[in-house]
């Protein structure tokens, strides 16, 4: 590779993005972040993965969301991301906000997949090694595991910050009663919870009742994942399950039985509203998830640059009329029945 082949980020990269302040902190995050759960593993096309990170960065996406187990193979998304950074982004580390998480199954034996201190401490060292980073900007407890006392998990997060391995900490998918305990312990230790990460999209609105208000009341930012319901909130499944879709992939977490007639029908009807707004369904679904100012950022996934490019365009129309919101609510309510 010659010097001329080096990737040089675009000069106007920050003009494309809106940035939101994260809870009570001094950190801002892009309204849209990029997640590496799918499409960045050892089974995926490394060239496409590299191009997606470059495109995102060129368009103001400063936040990249990882976890120890992202792949497959588990861990390979971190390894690939580290390589992409080393090969293309030297000198740009301080322009990025990079997360990782631990708590789901990762390695064999009784210590490889829970929220114990044992797991978190080993995990962050493994993740730093795989990515080649000196520290993560935020490290999450990936889940409440149902057994480990929240006190133990939070103390591990606090110590991770004190050891300089992460700047901030967060919680992911914590039930409200456990989140309350976590917020208190972290605040008392002077390591407040920066971000609360939950699945939130038109088809899964549960966080509106508890998790979003609770995060806001505790000064935590809220970051939504799977805003397109893994692709169900796009036009992808309107005519069956395409062979190049997540639902069709052996390694995908969207199972074919989740592509129900009711959801496909709702997607079709939502798409009609989107089209009157001059948007694709995906763009409207992202705009809808961003409509609550307590939602700091929305983590999108993409399997190709064209999806990423189209989805970032959602930022061009994020306002809804009361009539549009009402029509959307009616469709979503009919789905619950
Ligand atoms: N904390 C947690 O436990 C947790 C759990 C899950 C996810 N997350 C985070 O959230 C991130 C995003 O999750 P997600 O990947 O499920 O997000 P998503 O945005 O709901 O789904 C992304 C998928 O939808 C399809 N898609 C995207 N744009 C499209 C378009 N314009 N037209 C047609 N299809 C489109 C693609 O799948 P195809 O392969 O079908 O093209 C893409 O990979 C993850 O990477 C991860 O960082 C966190």
* Residue-level pLDDT at 310: 98
Q: State the alpha helices, DSSP H only, in 114-208.
A: 117-131, 150-162, 176-188
Please list, in sequence order, all residues whose beta carbon lies within 8 angstroms of the beta carbon of residue 240, skipping any fewer than 6 positions away: none
Chain segment 240-271, per-residue pLDDT in tens? 999 999 999 988 899 999 999 999 999 999 99
Chain segment 82-107, per-residue pLDDT in tens? 999 999 999 999 999 999 999 999 99
Q: Which tokens hold the place of 155?
A: 């103390």
Q: How big is the chain by its Cα radius of gyration, in Å?
A: 19
Range 11-31 average pLDDT:
96
CB of residue 311 inside a 6 A radius of ligand 1: yes
- DSSP annotation string for 47-67: HHHHHHHHHHHHTT--EEE--
Q: How far is the CA of 155 from the centre of ligand 1 (A)?
A: 31
CB of residue 104 inside a 6 A radius of ligand 1: no
* Residue-level pLDDT at 336: 75
CA separation for the pair 73, 182 (Å, rounded):
31
Q: Which tokens hold the place of 227?
A: 């805003």
Architecture (CATH level 2) of domain 17-336: Alpha-Beta Barrel (3.20)
Distance of CA 334 to the CA centre of its chain: 28
pTM: 0.97
Q: Which residue has the tokens 């799918």?
A: 38
Inform me whether the pLDDT recorded for 80 exceeds 80: yes
* Residue-level pLDDT at 39: 97
The DSSP secondary-structure symbol of 5 reads: G
Inform me whether the pLDDT recorded for 2 exceeds 50: no
Range 16-34 average pLDDT:
97
Phi, psi for 168 (deg, rounded to 5)? -140, 165
Average pLDDT score, the chain: 96
Q: Indicate the pLDDT class of residue 225, thresholds 50, 70 and 90.
A: very high
Inform me whether the pLDDT recorded for 3 exceeds 90: no
Distance of CA 86 to the CA centre of its chain: 22
CA separation for the pair 120, 141 (Å, rounded):
8
CB of residue 172 inside a 6 A radius of ligand 1: yes
Q: How far is the CA of 259 from the centre of ligand 1 (A)?
A: 15
CB of residue 236 inside a 6 A radius of ligand 1: yes
* Residue-level pLDDT at 252: 86
Phi, psi for 217 (deg, rounded to 5)? -65, -25
Better-scored residue on pLDDT, 4 or 180: 180
Least confident of 1-5, 70-74, 222-226: 1-5
The DSSP secondary-structure symbol of 310 reads: H
Q: How far is the CA of 306 from the centre of ligand 1 (A)?
A: 14
Inform me whether the pLDDT recorded for 5 exceeds 80: no
- Cβ atoms < 10 Å from Cβ of 133: 21
CB of residue 282 inside a 6 A radius of ligand 1: yes
Inform me whether the pLDDT recorded for 117 exceeds 50: yes
- Cβ atoms < 10 Å from Cβ of 291: 12
- 180 strand-pairing partners: none
Please list, in sequence order, all residues whose beta carbon lies within 8 angstroms of the beta carbon of residue 19, skipping any fewer than 6 positions away: 28, 29, 30, 31, 60, 62
Chain segment 288-327, per-residue pLDDT in tens? 999 999 999 999 999 999 999 999 999 999 999 999 999 9
- 100 strand-pairing partners: 139
Q: Give me the percent of the chain exceeding a pLDDT of 90.
A: 96
Inform me whether the pLDDT recorded for 141 exceeds 80: yes
Inform me whether the pLDDT recorded for 48 exceeds 60: yes
* Residue-level pLDDT at 4: 52
Range 275-291 average pLDDT:
98
Q: Indicate the pLDDT class of residue 189, thresholds 50, 70 and 90.
A: very high
Query: Cα 48–39–307 angle (5° rounding)?
Result: 65
The DSSP secondary-structure symbol of 16 reads: G
Inform me whether the pLDDT recorded for 1 exceeds 60: no
Please list, in sequence order, all residues whose beta carbon lies within 8 angstroms of the beta carbon of residue 43, skipping any fewer than 6 positions away: 71, 72, 73, 76, 251
Q: How far is the CA of 18 from the centre of ligand 1 (A)?
A: 20
Distance of CA 291 to the CA centre of its chain: 17
CB of residue 41 inside a 6 A radius of ligand 1: no
CB of residue 35 inside a 6 A radius of ligand 1: yes
Inform me whether the pLDDT recorded for 232 exceeds 50: yes
Classified as helix, coil or strand, 41 is coil
* Residue-level pLDDT at 106: 97
Range 129-134 average pLDDT:
98
Distance of CA 58 to the CA centre of its chain: 19
């Amino acid at each position: 590779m010659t010097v001329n082949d080096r990737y040089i980020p675009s000069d106007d990269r920050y003009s494309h993005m809106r940035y939101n302040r994260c809870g009570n902190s001094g950190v801002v995050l892009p309204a849209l972040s990029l997640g590496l759960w799918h499409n960045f593993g050892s089974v995926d096309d490394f060239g496409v993965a590299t191009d997606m990170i470059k495109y995102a960065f060129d368009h103001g996406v400063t936040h990249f969301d990882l976890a120890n187990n992202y792949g497959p193979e588990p861990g390979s998304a971190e390894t690939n991301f580290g390589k992409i950074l080393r090969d293309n982004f030297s000198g740009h580390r301080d322009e990025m906000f990079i997360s990782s998480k631990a708590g789901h199954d990762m390695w064999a034996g009784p210590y490889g997949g829970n929220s114990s201190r044992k797991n978190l401490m080993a995990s962050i060292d493994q993740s730093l090694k795989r990515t080649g980073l000196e520290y993560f900007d935020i490290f999450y407890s990936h889940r409440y595991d149902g057994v480990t006392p929240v006190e133990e998990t939070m103390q591990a997060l606090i110590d991770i910050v004190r050891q300089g391995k992460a700047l901030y900490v967060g919680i992911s998918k914590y039930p409200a009663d456990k989140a309350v305990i976590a917020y208190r312990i972290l605040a008392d230790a002077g390591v407040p919870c920066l971000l609360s990460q939950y699945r939130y999209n038109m088809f899964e609105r549960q966080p509106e009742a508890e998790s979003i208000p609770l995060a806001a009341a505790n000064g935590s930012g809220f970051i939504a994942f799977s805003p397109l319901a893994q692709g169900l909130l796009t036009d992808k499944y309107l005519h069956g399950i395409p062979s190049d879709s997540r639902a069709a992939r052996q390694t995908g977490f969207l199972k074919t039985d989740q592509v129900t007639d009711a959801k496909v029908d709702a997607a079709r009807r939502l798409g009609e509203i989107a089209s009157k707004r001059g948007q694709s369904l995906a763009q409207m679904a992202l705009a809808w998830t961003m409509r609550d100012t307590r939602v700091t950022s929305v983590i999108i996934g993409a399997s190709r640059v064209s999806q990423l490019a189209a989805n970032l365009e959602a930022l061009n129309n994020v306002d809804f009329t009361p009539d549009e919101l009402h029509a959307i609510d009616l469709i979503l309510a009919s789905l619950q029945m």
